[in-house]
A = this chain, B = another copy of it.
Protein backbone atom coordinates (compact mmCIF):
# COMPACT_ATOMS: atom_id res chain seq x y z
CA UNK A 1 0.00 0.00 0.00
CA UNK A 2 1.96 2.92 -1.31
CA UNK A 3 1.38 6.29 0.17
CA UNK A 4 1.84 9.51 -1.62
CA UNK A 5 0.96 12.21 0.85
CA UNK A 6 4.44 12.86 2.19
CA UNK A 7 5.70 16.39 1.79
CA UNK A 8 9.32 15.52 1.79
CA UNK A 9 10.91 18.89 2.00
CA UNK A 10 7.69 20.62 2.87
CA UNK A 11 6.78 22.30 6.08
CA UNK A 12 3.42 20.70 6.61
CA UNK A 13 2.71 17.50 8.42
CA UNK A 14 1.33 14.70 6.25
CA UNK A 15 -2.40 14.27 6.66
CA UNK A 16 -1.77 10.80 7.95
CA UNK A 17 1.42 10.44 9.96
CA UNK A 18 4.34 8.49 8.61
CA UNK A 19 4.58 4.97 10.02
CA UNK A 20 7.25 2.41 10.43
CA UNK A 21 5.90 0.58 7.42
CA UNK A 22 6.27 3.66 5.25
CA UNK A 23 9.91 3.98 6.19
CA UNK A 24 10.52 0.26 5.68
CA UNK A 25 9.00 0.27 2.22
CA UNK A 26 10.88 3.33 1.12
CA UNK A 27 14.20 2.13 2.52
CA UNK A 28 13.69 -1.32 1.13
CA UNK A 29 13.98 -3.12 4.44
CA UNK A 30 11.57 -4.89 6.74
CA UNK A 31 9.60 -3.09 9.38
CA UNK A 32 11.59 -4.82 12.06
CA UNK A 33 14.80 -3.38 10.76
CA UNK A 34 13.42 0.10 11.01
CA UNK A 35 12.36 -0.58 14.57
CA UNK A 36 15.86 -1.79 15.32
CA UNK A 37 17.37 1.26 13.70
CA UNK A 38 15.42 3.32 16.22
CA UNK A 39 15.74 1.18 19.34
CA UNK A 40 18.75 -1.08 18.80
CA UNK A 41 20.97 0.56 16.23
CA UNK A 42 23.84 -1.75 17.22
CA UNK A 43 22.08 -4.63 15.54
CA UNK A 44 22.26 -3.06 12.10
CA UNK A 45 25.10 -3.04 9.64
CA UNK A 46 26.45 0.51 9.43
CA UNK A 47 25.38 1.00 5.82
CA UNK A 48 21.87 -0.28 6.45
CA UNK A 49 21.59 1.89 9.51
CA UNK A 50 22.67 4.91 7.56
CA UNK A 51 20.17 4.25 4.79
CA UNK A 52 17.32 3.76 7.22
CA UNK A 53 18.24 6.81 9.22
CA UNK A 54 18.25 8.91 6.13
CA UNK A 55 14.83 7.68 5.14
CA UNK A 56 13.56 8.40 8.63
CA UNK A 57 14.83 11.94 8.33
CA UNK A 58 13.40 12.37 4.84
CA UNK A 59 9.97 11.28 5.88
CA UNK A 60 10.13 12.98 9.24
CA UNK A 61 9.19 9.76 10.93
CA UNK A 62 8.65 9.60 14.64
CA UNK A 63 7.35 6.43 16.29
CA UNK A 64 3.70 6.53 17.24
CA UNK A 65 3.57 6.87 20.99
CA UNK A 66 0.34 5.00 21.53
CA UNK A 67 1.48 1.99 19.56
CA UNK A 68 4.78 1.85 21.34
CA UNK A 69 3.11 2.32 24.70
CA UNK A 70 0.66 -0.46 24.00
CA UNK A 71 3.35 -2.85 22.94
CA UNK A 72 5.85 -2.09 25.67
CA UNK A 73 3.31 -1.50 28.43
CA UNK A 74 4.95 1.76 29.30
CA UNK A 75 4.00 5.37 28.74
CA UNK A 76 7.17 7.36 29.40
CA UNK A 77 4.98 9.58 31.53
CA UNK A 78 5.48 10.59 35.13
CA UNK A 79 2.38 11.64 36.99
CA UNK A 80 2.40 14.65 39.27
CA UNK A 81 -0.53 15.96 41.22
CA UNK A 82 -0.40 19.67 40.74
CA UNK A 83 -1.69 21.66 43.67
CA UNK A 84 -1.53 25.42 43.25
CA UNK A 85 0.51 27.70 45.44
CA UNK A 86 -1.61 28.86 48.30
CA UNK A 87 -2.80 32.39 47.78
CA UNK A 88 -1.59 34.80 50.40
CA UNK A 89 1.59 32.91 51.13
CA UNK A 90 5.00 33.20 49.58
CA UNK A 91 5.37 29.52 48.82
CA UNK A 92 5.88 29.34 45.11
CA UNK A 93 8.45 26.59 45.43
CA UNK A 94 6.21 24.26 43.47
CA UNK A 95 6.71 26.26 40.32
CA UNK A 96 10.47 25.97 40.45
CA UNK A 97 10.30 22.31 41.35
CA UNK A 98 7.94 21.41 38.55
CA UNK A 99 10.14 23.10 36.03
CA UNK A 100 13.17 21.24 37.29
CA UNK A 101 11.25 18.00 37.18
CA UNK A 102 10.17 18.60 33.61
CA UNK A 103 13.75 19.26 32.58
CA UNK A 104 15.19 16.31 34.46
CA UNK A 105 12.51 13.99 33.10
CA UNK A 106 13.19 15.07 29.56
CA UNK A 107 16.82 14.08 30.00
CA UNK A 108 15.86 10.46 30.51
CA UNK A 109 13.08 10.39 27.94
CA UNK A 110 10.11 11.06 30.17
CA UNK A 111 7.41 13.67 30.19
CA UNK A 112 5.43 15.00 33.11
CA UNK A 113 1.68 14.53 33.24
CA UNK A 114 -0.23 16.86 35.53
CA UNK A 115 -3.45 15.91 37.21
CA UNK A 116 -5.57 17.83 39.67
CA UNK A 117 -5.95 16.98 43.32
CA UNK A 118 -9.21 16.35 45.01
CA UNK A 119 -9.24 16.84 48.74
CA UNK A 120 -12.35 14.70 49.09
CA UNK A 121 -10.72 11.81 47.30
CA UNK A 122 -6.95 12.17 47.56
CA UNK A 123 -6.13 8.88 45.86
CA UNK A 124 -8.74 9.06 43.12
CA UNK A 125 -6.50 10.70 40.59
CA UNK A 126 -3.68 8.30 41.30
CA UNK A 127 -5.93 5.29 41.06
CA UNK A 128 -7.33 6.24 37.68
CA UNK A 129 -4.00 6.89 36.07
CA UNK A 130 -2.55 3.73 37.52
CA UNK A 131 -5.38 1.41 36.47
CA UNK A 132 -5.46 2.79 32.96
CA UNK A 133 -1.68 2.49 32.77
CA UNK A 134 -1.55 6.11 31.74
CA UNK A 135 1.66 6.80 33.65
CA UNK A 136 4.69 4.72 34.53
CA UNK A 137 5.29 6.29 37.92
CA UNK A 138 4.39 9.11 40.23
CA UNK A 139 6.18 11.86 42.04
CA UNK A 140 4.42 12.54 45.31
CA UNK A 141 4.98 15.97 46.81
CA UNK A 142 2.52 16.27 49.63
CA UNK A 143 3.77 13.81 52.21
CA UNK A 144 2.41 15.61 55.21
CA UNK A 145 1.05 13.88 58.25
CA UNK A 146 -1.64 11.37 57.61
CA UNK A 147 -1.54 11.76 53.87
CA UNK A 148 -2.66 8.40 52.51
CA UNK A 149 -1.09 8.67 49.08
CA UNK A 150 2.35 7.30 49.79
CA UNK A 151 1.16 4.31 51.76
CA UNK A 152 -1.60 3.61 49.27
CA UNK A 153 0.82 3.66 46.36
CA UNK A 154 3.15 1.41 48.31
CA UNK A 155 0.36 -1.09 48.79
CA UNK A 156 -0.39 -1.01 45.10
CA UNK A 157 3.27 -1.58 44.42
CA UNK A 158 3.12 1.42 42.15
CA UNK A 159 6.49 2.97 41.36
CA UNK A 160 6.87 6.37 42.93
CA UNK A 161 9.32 8.62 44.68
CA UNK A 162 8.27 11.06 47.34
CA UNK A 163 9.57 14.59 47.66
CA UNK A 164 9.48 14.75 51.44
CA UNK A 165 10.26 12.36 54.25
CA UNK A 166 7.67 9.99 55.69
CA UNK A 167 7.80 11.89 58.98
CA UNK A 168 5.09 10.13 60.85
CA UNK A 169 5.35 6.66 59.44
CA UNK A 170 8.04 4.40 60.85
CA UNK A 171 6.78 1.62 58.68
CA UNK A 172 7.11 3.52 55.44
CA UNK A 173 9.18 1.62 52.95
CA UNK A 174 9.20 3.86 49.99
CA UNK A 175 11.87 5.91 48.35
CA UNK A 176 12.09 9.58 49.12
CA UNK A 177 14.17 12.67 48.49
CA UNK A 178 14.05 15.62 50.81
CA UNK A 179 15.81 18.82 51.77
CA UNK A 180 17.42 19.07 55.16
CA UNK A 181 15.44 21.90 56.73
CA UNK A 182 17.43 21.83 59.93
CA UNK A 183 20.62 22.28 57.95
CA UNK A 184 19.01 25.30 56.34
CA UNK A 185 18.15 27.02 59.61
CA UNK A 186 21.56 26.03 60.94
CA UNK A 187 23.09 27.84 57.98
CA UNK A 188 20.88 30.85 58.66
CA UNK A 189 21.59 30.94 62.38
CA UNK A 190 25.34 30.49 61.98
CA UNK A 191 25.35 33.23 59.38
CA UNK A 192 23.77 35.60 61.89
CA UNK A 193 26.11 34.52 64.67
CA UNK A 194 29.07 35.13 62.38
CA UNK A 195 27.67 38.62 61.83
CA UNK A 196 27.93 39.17 65.58
CA UNK A 197 24.36 38.50 66.63
CA UNK A 198 23.76 36.70 69.92
CA UNK A 199 20.09 37.25 70.57
CA UNK A 200 18.53 35.49 67.59
CA UNK A 201 14.82 34.78 67.71
CA UNK A 202 12.86 32.02 66.01
CA UNK A 203 9.42 32.40 64.48
CA UNK A 204 8.04 29.11 63.27
CA UNK A 205 4.93 27.06 62.73
CA UNK A 206 2.67 25.27 65.12
CA UNK A 207 4.08 22.28 66.86
CA UNK A 208 2.15 19.72 64.83
CA UNK A 209 4.19 20.43 61.71
CA UNK A 210 7.16 18.06 61.57
CA UNK A 211 8.73 20.18 58.86
CA UNK A 212 8.40 23.19 61.13
CA UNK A 213 9.90 21.36 64.10
CA UNK A 214 12.76 20.18 61.93
CA UNK A 215 13.55 23.71 60.85
CA UNK A 216 13.22 24.91 64.42
CA UNK A 217 15.71 22.32 65.62
CA UNK A 218 18.39 23.71 63.31
CA UNK A 219 18.08 27.10 64.97
CA UNK A 220 17.92 25.63 68.47
CA UNK A 221 20.94 23.36 68.11
CA UNK A 222 23.08 26.00 66.48
CA UNK A 223 22.27 28.48 69.23
CA UNK A 224 23.18 25.99 71.92
CA UNK A 225 26.28 24.78 70.09
CA UNK A 226 27.47 28.39 70.22
CA UNK A 227 26.64 28.70 73.91
CA UNK A 228 23.76 31.09 73.25
CA UNK A 229 20.55 31.17 75.21
CA UNK A 230 17.22 30.63 73.48
CA UNK A 231 15.00 31.41 76.43
CA UNK A 232 12.05 33.55 75.44
CA UNK A 233 13.30 33.79 71.89
CA UNK A 234 10.99 31.34 70.16
CA UNK A 235 7.47 31.72 68.86
CA UNK A 236 5.09 29.34 67.11
CA UNK A 237 2.37 30.82 64.94
CA UNK A 238 0.32 30.22 61.84
CA UNK A 239 1.99 30.69 58.49
CA UNK A 240 0.49 34.05 57.60
CA UNK A 241 2.06 37.50 57.36
CA UNK A 242 -0.10 38.93 60.09
CA UNK A 243 0.97 36.29 62.62
CA UNK A 244 4.62 36.82 61.79
CA UNK A 245 4.25 40.54 62.38
CA UNK A 246 2.56 40.01 65.72
CA UNK A 247 5.10 37.47 66.89
CA UNK A 248 7.92 39.82 65.96
CA UNK A 249 6.32 42.67 67.91
CA UNK A 250 5.94 40.55 71.02
CA UNK A 251 9.46 39.18 70.79
CA UNK A 252 10.95 42.63 70.29
CA UNK A 253 9.12 43.95 73.32
CA UNK A 254 9.84 41.06 75.61
CA UNK A 255 13.23 39.67 74.59
CA UNK A 256 14.98 42.32 72.52
CA UNK A 257 16.40 40.08 69.82
CA UNK A 258 18.69 41.62 67.20
CA UNK A 259 17.88 39.03 64.56
CA UNK A 260 15.08 36.73 63.42
CA UNK A 261 15.17 33.37 61.73
CA UNK A 262 11.81 32.39 60.26
CA UNK A 263 10.31 29.11 59.10
CA UNK A 264 9.05 30.78 55.93
CA UNK A 265 9.36 33.89 53.80
CA UNK A 266 5.76 34.61 54.65
CA UNK A 267 6.59 34.95 58.33
CA UNK A 268 9.71 36.93 57.47
CA UNK A 269 7.52 39.39 55.61
CA UNK A 270 5.55 39.83 58.79
CA UNK A 271 8.73 40.61 60.69
CA UNK A 272 9.73 43.16 58.07
CA UNK A 273 6.35 44.78 58.46
CA UNK A 274 6.82 45.19 62.19
CA UNK A 275 10.29 46.61 61.62
CA UNK A 276 8.87 49.07 59.13
CA UNK A 277 6.21 50.23 61.58
CA UNK A 278 8.83 50.71 64.27
CA UNK A 279 11.17 52.52 61.90
CA UNK A 280 13.80 49.86 62.28
CA UNK A 281 15.96 49.22 59.24
CA UNK A 282 16.16 45.55 58.19
CA UNK A 283 19.79 44.48 57.97
CA UNK A 284 21.13 47.49 59.81
CA UNK A 285 19.05 47.59 63.00
CA UNK A 286 17.61 44.09 62.93
CA UNK A 287 18.56 41.15 60.75
CA UNK A 288 15.94 38.86 59.20
CA UNK A 289 16.25 35.53 57.44
CA UNK A 290 13.40 33.73 55.71
CA UNK A 291 12.96 30.28 54.23
CA UNK A 292 12.33 29.21 50.62
CA UNK A 293 13.92 31.99 48.66
CA UNK A 294 10.57 32.82 47.16
CA UNK A 295 9.97 35.53 44.62
CA UNK A 296 8.87 37.69 47.47
CA UNK A 297 12.33 37.42 49.03
CA UNK A 298 13.91 38.29 45.74
CA UNK A 299 11.66 41.15 44.77
CA UNK A 300 11.25 42.77 48.14
CA UNK A 301 13.01 46.14 47.98
CA UNK A 302 15.17 45.26 50.96
CA UNK A 303 16.29 41.89 49.60
CA UNK A 304 15.37 39.21 52.09
CA UNK A 305 18.09 36.72 53.02
CA UNK A 306 16.52 33.30 52.72
CA UNK A 307 17.25 29.60 52.81
CA UNK A 308 17.07 28.19 49.31
CA UNK A 309 16.09 24.61 48.63
CA UNK A 310 18.10 22.92 45.89
CA UNK A 311 15.00 22.00 43.92
CA UNK A 312 16.92 21.38 40.72
CA UNK A 313 18.98 18.75 42.51
CA UNK A 314 15.91 17.31 44.14
CA UNK A 315 14.30 16.85 40.74
CA UNK A 316 17.39 15.21 39.28
CA UNK A 317 17.69 12.88 42.23
CA UNK A 318 14.04 11.94 42.00
CA UNK A 319 14.19 11.24 38.30
CA UNK A 320 17.36 9.19 38.66
CA UNK A 321 15.80 7.11 41.39
CA UNK A 322 12.66 6.70 39.33
CA UNK A 323 14.77 5.44 36.44
CA UNK A 324 16.27 2.80 38.70
CA UNK A 325 12.88 1.77 40.01
CA UNK A 326 11.41 1.49 36.54
CA UNK A 327 14.24 -0.65 35.27
CA UNK A 328 14.05 -2.79 38.38
CA UNK A 329 17.55 -1.97 39.40
CA UNK A 330 18.46 -2.19 43.06
CA UNK A 331 18.03 0.95 45.13
CA UNK A 332 20.89 1.49 47.53
CA UNK A 333 19.26 4.01 49.83
CA UNK A 334 15.64 4.60 50.70
CA UNK A 335 16.10 8.24 51.42
CA UNK A 336 18.29 11.07 50.17
CA UNK A 337 18.70 14.29 52.09
CA UNK A 338 19.98 17.32 50.22
CA UNK A 339 21.58 20.44 51.67
CA UNK A 340 19.99 23.83 51.13
CA UNK A 341 21.98 26.99 50.61
CA UNK A 342 21.61 30.52 51.92
CA UNK A 343 20.75 33.34 49.55
CA UNK A 344 22.23 36.32 51.36
CA UNK A 345 20.71 39.74 50.77
CA UNK A 346 20.42 43.10 52.49
CA UNK A 347 18.13 41.99 55.30
CA UNK A 348 21.08 40.42 57.13
Q: Interface of A with B (CB < 8 Å)?
A: 11-13, 17-18, 60-67, 69-70, 73, 75, 77, 82-85, 87-90, 92, 94-96, 98-99, 102-103, 106, 111-116, 128, 130-134, 155-158, 241, 245, 265-266, 269-270, 272-273, 276, 294-296, 298-302
Nearest Cβ in chain B — how far from A141, in angstroms?
Answer: 13
Q: List 29 A-B contacts (CB under 8 A).
A: A11-B155, A13-B130, A17-B131, A62-B131, A62-B132, A64-B133, A65-B69, A65-B134, A82-B98, A82-B102, A83-B99, A85-B95, A85-B96, A85-B295, A98-B114, A102-B114, A103-B116, A106-B116, A111-B114, A112-B114, A241-B301, A245-B301, A269-B299, A269-B301, A272-B301, A276-B301, A295-B296, A296-B296, A300-B300
CB neighbours of A73 from chain B (8 A): 66
Give A241 to B297 CA distance when docked, in angstroms.
12
The CA-CA distance from A229 to B63 in the complex, in Å, is: 62
Q: With the chains together, A266 CA to B67 CA distance in Å?
A: 47
Q: Which residues of B contact A299 (CB under 8 A)?
A: 88-90, 241, 265-266, 269, 296
Q: Are B114's CB and A12's CB within 8 A? A: no
The distance in angstroms between the C-alpha atoms of A134 and B109, with both chains bound, is 13
Name the residue on B nearest A271 (C-beta): B301
Candidates B66, B88, B158; contact of A66 at CB < 8 Å: B66
A270 to B300, CA, bound (A): 8
A96 to B89, CA, bound (A): 13
Q: How far is the CA of A88 from the CA of B89 in the complex (A)?
A: 17
> Quick one: given A82-B98, A102-B115, A295-B296, are A157 and B301 in contact (CB under 8 Å)?
no
With A116-B102, A241-B301, A301-B272: A158-B13 Cβ-Cβ less than 8 Å:
yes
Contact present for B115 and A134 (CB under 8 Å): no
Q: Is B60 in contact with A70, judged by CB distance below 8 angstroms?
A: no
**Which B residues are CB-close (under 8 A) to A106?**
115-116
- With contacts A12-B157, A298-B87 taken as known, whether A67 is within 8 angstroms of B65 at the C-beta atoms is no
Q: Which residue of B lies closest to A277 (CB)?
A: B301
Q: Contact check, B75 vs A70: say whether CB atoms are below 8 A apart.
A: no
State A87–B292 Cα separation when bound (angstroms): 13
Find chain B residues with CB under 8 A from A84 CB.
95-96, 99
- Please report the C-alpha to C-alpha distance between residue A101 and residue B190 in the assembled complex, in whole angstroms: 43
CB A220 to nearest CB in B, in angstroms, measures 26
Task: Given A102-B114, A241-B301, A296-B299, output 18 extra A-B contacts at Cβ < 8 Å.
Answer: A62-B131, A63-B132, A66-B66, A67-B70, A70-B70, A82-B99, A87-B298, A90-B295, A98-B98, A106-B116, A111-B113, A111-B134, A112-B115, A114-B114, A245-B301, A265-B299, A270-B301, A296-B300
CA distance A36 to B219 in the complex (A): 62
Shortest CB-to-CB span from A208 to chain B, Å, is: 23
In the A-B complex, list the 4 residue pairs whose CB atoms are closest, starting with the nearest. A273-B301, A62-B131, A66-B69, A84-B99
A88 to B99, CA, bound (A): 16
When distances are taken between beta carbons in the complex, the residues of chain B under 8 Å from A158 are 13
A17 nearest CB neighbor, chain B only: B133
